[in-house]
A and B are shown apart, each in its own frame.
Chain A
Amino acid sequence: MSADSIEKEQAGPSNSSSSHPTGTSTAHTPTPTHPSDPSESSLEAPSGSSRAEDDPNRSKPQNRERKPACGDGLKPNRSNNNTNNNSKGKNLAELTSEQLRSRITFIPSGQQVLLKLPSERLKPIVLQPGKNVSIGKFGSFKADELIGMPFGYTYEIAERGGGLSVVVDRTLAEIEATDATNENINDDGDSQKLTYVDIKAFKDAGLDGREIIKKQLEMNSSYDQRTAFSQAKYVKRKEQKHLKLFTPLPPDTMTIASYNFEKNSEKIRWMRPDALSQCLSFASIRPGGKYLVVDGISGLLVGAILERLGGEGSLIAINDTESPPAFDLLDQFNLPPQLTKNVLRTMHWAMTEKDYIPIFSGQEGLETSSSKKDKDKGRNKKRQALQDESARLRKDFQAGDFDAVIIASPYEPFSMIQRLRPYLGGSANIVVHSPYLQSLVECHARLRQSAEYINVSITEPWLRRYQVLPGRTHPEMTTSATAGYILHAIRVLTEEEALAMREKERAKLEAEDIQGSARPRDGEQAEIEAERDTKRPKIEGGKAEETINSSEAIATMDVDVASSATAPPSS
């Protein structure tokens, strides 16, 4: 699991203490503890038992009782879920917080799960109820043994029979320090007396991983001379080689970001998880917000934002191809439709242009409508729906007032920011991640020159892990050298823009007021005006008057425009 957990020990029910994670082994009949699939939002057909246990007010005794009930409640729910998945997703019932959370706490059925193998490789599998799952040379096991189990445990596939058992890590801190030194250990590779051929023979004879490791330890002449610490490391190395261990990983942003950083760093433009977390913070992602994202990193950014939105708000992803982007890492997040369907929409860069005309020429539609074939009609309907959707999307985009834009893309950052600026609200955050300092530096310089951006900064996250053990505390030997760089700026409105917006809003409100009850407001206004006048600094009175007048002139000009236009765009 990690570097400071080395020795795996077979934990039986016997060594389970009250607070210790009891390494309870699960065999052929695990009891799933939770309705595992967050996409089953079917509130209309709740299974009573699972509802009850979702109740956060439950006390501990109830908690104990509920397990069998839960196992029962699982199956009807699941079948329900399958039918649900096929629905359009328009009227998805809102998820409770328990349902939201179950995505990252319980192993789901029928969805992709990432297994971490001893080689640190990730293996995506899908657990289908009643089916066997094969993970290559590691063997196979029954899917039911994992479905509904909480994330967190490491499992071992038994050599014979294929049952699963939970393996509990023992941390390095528990290892007693000894007096041993490496004084007499020679690094000549002669310590291990067993050869590859011997080990192969053991395997062929049907010895399991643990037995082989035991033999290797016996035949290693220097093992006893090592420090306990070093022994533990040695055992861990051998276990990784010979034991059939795997860990199902929760599909949370941390897990997905860190594994892709290690395995697919180029694909995610070397965005280290801490850099991703800072991008989310700088952008102040919040449920209910409206965001733009330029995700050139296979959907990692989109997935992380969607998780933070929790199904509320709006996210428009802008991509650089005419067809929707693949976002293949997005699948790893296992997001239920409630978190994606009515939240995420994609459009391409050409659609950001005001004068862009989508190639949905109506001619074709007219032509086929006369040919009256049902098939064509259906196709036309689809086409029309697509067209409507695209028009709605462009309208929403052009309404603007987005709270932030987050960019991780190979295109030149300033060109992207300038194009999106008109659609960002006042005080909107602009966040750009890049593995290249140079491109951000040039963008930084240009943003600093502009009056429309403030607080422009480039930061470089720096992260170092420490080994903390009594007497052996030190920073890790190797540390990732770079997380990439993050440019952050806040979009501001010029005085003219701000005053024009205020006048427009004022005109709108006054129009509404007139329509409604005509309240006597003039008196109040005069009062405020008078107050203003007295507060105006006397010395520069003339000057101030003049400037205010000029700004009001600008404002009134806009009111004319505004009043002639239709309702102003609002969120």
Chain B
Amino acid sequence: MVNSLASSSDDRFIKAGSLVITFIARDRTPIPVTVTPGEQLNNSYGSFFHNDMIGLPYGSKMVARNRRGFIYLLRPTPELWTISLPHRTQILYAPDMSFITLKLSLSPGCRVIEAGTGSGSFTHVLARTVGRRSKNGDPSLRTGQVPKNWGGLPNSIQAPSRGTPSAAEEEKATPTPSGVETPTTEADGSSRGLQSVDSATVPEFDGRVWSFEFHAGRAEKARQELTAHGMDDVVKLSHRNVCKNGFGLEDAADAIFLDLPAPWEAIPHAPSALRANSIGRICCFSPCIEQVLKTVTALTEQGFTDIQTYESLVRTHESLAGQGPEMDVGDAIRRIKEVERRKEERRIQQIEKTRKEREAKEGSVTEPKTSSDTANFVKLDEGGRDQADEEPDMKKRKRQEEMEEVEGSTHREAETQEGVADDLAEEVETGEDHSPLTSSSSNKPKARNELLMTKKKARQAILLQEKKGNFQPATTLSRPYWEMRGHTSYLTFATLLPRDISATSRT
């Protein structure tokens, strides 16, 4: 059963060897899992057997066999990988990565240099952006790649801190392919890509990421990952110190991205690596403003122009469905008045009561001693009763208030409708239309809208509605999260104008 699914060619389904991002809960870091027959994922929500994952479509909700909890099996994307990947260094986050990609004007077929690779999160984004799809059926024609589904490294290597096997394996990570479909054997070939000169030739239908990392262990790990994910043709990774040794590329790249402690040491190597006959772009990523200053100086010295520095942050907003609609302050006034009225009523009743009791006492003067006793008793008794009554009373009052609230709100609606009572039915209808959380599907075309053939007329009708002042209180409120993802780095962009155009004279 499972076996037949393991060989499915339909790219909607998870296979043995597929990488899935397991999404557990909103506030939990997603975990990348390579689906490996026989293995299981354990967390506080239960045990999830990889065998059960095979054949499920990506995006499935997977319930633990004990039905206690569930997870979601998501298709990896560079963004999901970024938030779930095992960190080896400080990484770039989606907003920065998106903006850099846009500013460097990257698109399929472009050639881009990245130094250093770090944890490889941006490398994946670059690969997706500049890679071109390999042709189905004619792989000889094209080798560029942007896989829809990714393979994964064996779980013991992928995220040793999270998996069950010993963490000692991490450093000398030599992948042991165990039924994993993606060939990972090439990753341990130490000869691969290190010279970087051989990777300077790019097939004419391909895009290319040249990624450089000066830390041998990180370079190796990133290369293994990229190979397993199926991006090793579009990304050529080299273990190389670009500050000391340059990029080893001549007139080759459209853009350069530098995420280095001292980008100004690599910048002198940049102009020759960029293409001479067209505009070249560079982005330097540095957390400190002092680094930015040095970078800007180096860029200017190397002839870069249009130097721009940006900082990018993200604010996250939360919706609070239970918080609205906010009450009209008139409700508070009505409530206060009501409470006051009732208090006054009770006070009068109380006075009346004591007066009656006093009169009753005065009527029987024969036993003064006991009367005072009974009076005391009565008082005590009264107090006791009062206290006993207190709670049901409160409840009653609360219920009453609630009812009044409902009354109040209907009252309010009536008020708002008073002014525009010309067509009550229509008002009610539009009220429904505007309230966003009504469960009834608001997709049905309203009778009055059927007459509005043009968008302009429909727009005018809405404007007219606005003028009538038919405002609905918001039912869902929003609030930003109390914290925003802090500053990661400054982004410094610059361009290098084409140098390779023929010189001519000016009139």
Task: Tell me if A460 and B317 are in contact (CB < 8 A).
Answer: yes
Q: Can you list 16 pairs linking A and B with CB atoms under 8 Å apart?
A: A19-B271, A21-B303, A33-B277, A33-B502, A57-B202, A67-B502, A152-B498, A254-B102, A277-B99, A282-B94, A426-B58, A458-B316, A460-B317, A463-B312, A468-B289, A528-B3
**Interface 9-residue window, one of A23-31, A73-81, A387-395:** A23-31
Determine whether B176 belongs to the interface, using a CB cutoff of 8 Å to chain A.
no
Cβ of B278 under 8 Å from chain A: yes
- Seen from chain B, the residues whose Cβ lies within 8 Å of a Cβ on chain A are 1-5, 7-8, 10-13, 23, 26, 38, 40, 47, 49, 51, 55-63, 65-67, 70, 72-75, 77-79, 94-95, 97-99, 101-103, 105, 107-111, 125, 128-129, 131-133, 146, 148, 200-202, 204-207, 250-252, 254, 271-272, 276-279, 289, 292-293, 296-297, 300, 302-303, 305-321, 436-437, 442-443, 455, 474-478, 480, 484, 490, 492, 495-507
The answer to whether B102 touches A310 (Cβ under 8 A) is: no
Q: How far is the CB of B321 from chain A (nearest CB, A)?
A: 4
In chain A, positions 136-167 with a C-beta closer than 8 Å to chain B are 149-153, 158, 160-161, 163, 165
**B499 to chain A: closest residue by CB:** A21
B278 with A171: CB separation less than 8 A: no
- How many residues on the A side are at the interface (Cβ–Cβ under 8 A)? 160
Closest to A151 in B: B279
A455 within 8 A of B: yes
Given A412-B442, A442-B475, A445-B321, 11 more contacts at CB 8 Å?
A56-B202, A94-B205, A150-B277, A288-B146, A401-B12, A444-B478, A459-B315, A460-B480, A485-B317, A490-B59, A535-B49
Determine whether the beta carbon of A473 is less than 8 Å from that of B66: no
CB neighbors of B among A247-263 (8 A) = 250, 252-254, 257
User: Do A493 and B59 touch across chains, with their CB atoms under 8 A apart?
Assistant: yes
From 494 to 514 in chain A, residues with beta carbon under 8 angstroms from any chain B beta carbon are: 494-495, 497-499, 501-502, 505-506, 509-510, 513
Of the candidates A13, A105, A451, the one having the most CB atoms from chain B within 10 angstroms of its own CB is A105
Question: CB of A118 within 8 A of chain B?
Answer: no
4 closest A-B pairs by beta carbon, nearest first, are: A426-B59, A310-B108, A97-B109, A427-B59
Which of B7, B95, B309, B478 meets A509, CB within 8 Å? B7
- In the bound complex, residues from chain B placing their C-beta under 8 Å from that of A312 are 108, 132-133
| Chain B nearest CB, measured from A35 CB (Å) | 12
| Distance (whole angstroms) from the CB of A410 to the closest CB of chain B | 9
A151 to B501, CA, bound (A): 11
**CA gap between A313 and B131 in the complex, in Å:** 13
Interface of A is mostly: mixed
Chain B residues with Cβ below 8 Å from A448 are: 319, 321
Task: Assess whether B476 is in contact with A442, with CB atoms less than 8 Å apart.
Answer: yes
Choice from B200, B305, B436 contacting A5 with Cβ under 8 Å: B305
| Contact call B5/A27, Cβ cutoff below 8 A | no
Most buried by B among A27, A313, A415, A499: A499
Q: Does A537 make an interface contact (CB < 8 A)?
A: yes
Nearest chain B residue, comparing its CB with the CB of A485: B317
Indicate whether A320 sits within 8 Å of B455 (C-beta atoms), given known contacts A29-B504, A149-B501.
Answer: yes
Q: Which residues on the A side are within 8 Å of B315 (C-beta)?
A: 459-460, 462
In the complex the two chains form, is A446's CB within 8 Å of B305's CB?
no
Measured CB to CB, the nearest residue on chain A to B100 is A277
The CA of A437 and the CA of B476, in the complex, are separated in Å by: 11
Asked if A169 CB lies within 8 Å of chain B CBs, one says: yes
Are A105 and B278 CB-contacts (below 8 A) given A277-B98, A277-B101, A313-B133? yes
Alpha-carbon separation in the docked complex, A451 to B61 (Å): 10
CA distance A428 to B12 in the complex (A): 11
Q: Check A509 against B306 for contact (C-beta < 8 Å).
A: no
State the CA gap A502–B252 with chains docked (Å): 46
The contact of A56 among B108, B201, B442, by CB within 8 Å, is: B201
- In the docked arrangement, what's the CA distance between A19 and B303, Å? 6
Is A284 close to B, CB under 8 A?
Answer: yes
A174 touches B309 (CB 8 A): no
